[in-house]
Amino acid sequence: MKIFAIGWNYKDHNKELSFNELPVEPTFFLKAETALLKDNKPFYYPDFSNQIEYEVELVIRINKLGKGIDEQFAHRYYSEIGLGIDFTARDLQKKQRESGGPWEICKSFDNSAPVSHFIPVSQFESVQNINFRLDINGKTVQQGNTANMIFSVDKIISYLSRFFLLKMGDLIFTGTPVGVGPVKVGDRLQGYIENELMFDFLIK
């Protein structure tokens, strides 16, 4: 199973990270399979970072084999969506950006990709008009709508399939909106798609 994560896919988030240029094609990285955290299990704050930050994202689950997928047919390759967190060791990321090094150490560490259960995309009028949000300790800290993506879900799938054989069960984190920030031990994270609670877990 592969876990893809799309970067810089919401304009306002790009601005908050001082990335003001619009990407001309999807930017992505891979998370290790051991990054996956399911079933509302707690996230244990790692000892190698002092600045773990949340990035809530809509997640697409691929439902069949695909390679070189045309954008107009990309909708045939997924039928469910979920919600996830791209946990980022921001202090390590800063060092990697300064040195020009790869991002795996700050993005792909164990349990850095909590994922909710999945729901049918058919219950929504369009995958490109879905509200989602993250609450921490009962307060909304991040919210977005997929209409504001720079690159649509179908565009992302088509693009990734140029380089990778997409397989059933592969996950695509589609980017995070503005409002990322730190977590601390004791925080309770609850994620919603529209008004449906998708995940609910603790930072320990």
Distance separating alpha carbons of residues 158 and 74, to the nearest angstrom: 6
CA dihedral 33, 37, 38, 39 (to 10 degrees): 160
Q: Which amino acid is at 38?
A: K
The pLDDT value recorded for residue 98 is 87
pLDDT at 103: 85
Q: What percentage of residues in the chain have a pLDDT greater than 90?
A: 89
Dihedral angle sign, alpha carbons of residues 117, 152, 104, 178? negative
Could you read off the pLDDT of 21-74 as tens digits, one per residue?
A: 778 999 999 999 999 999 999 999 999 999 999 999 999 999 999 999 999 999
Residue 15 is predicted with a pLDDT of 61
In tens digits, what is the pLDDT along the chain, a chain of 204 residues?
Answer: 999 999 989 976 656 665 667 789 999 999 999 999 999 999 999 999 999 999 999 999 999 999 999 999 999 999 999 999 999 999 999 999 888 888 899 999 999 999 999 999 999 999 999 999 999 999 999 999 999 999 999 999 999 999 999 999 999 999 999 999 999 999 999 999 999 999 999 999
DSSP states along 112-137: -EEB---EEGGGSS-TTS-EEEEEET
b/e string for 10-23 if b means 16 or more Cβ within 10 A?
Answer: beebbeeeeeeeee
Contact status, residue 108 vs residue 35, Cβ threshold 8 Å: yes
In degrees to the nearest 10, what's the CA dihedral of 187, 31, 173, 165?
Answer: -160
Give CA–CA dist 198/204, Å, rounded.
20
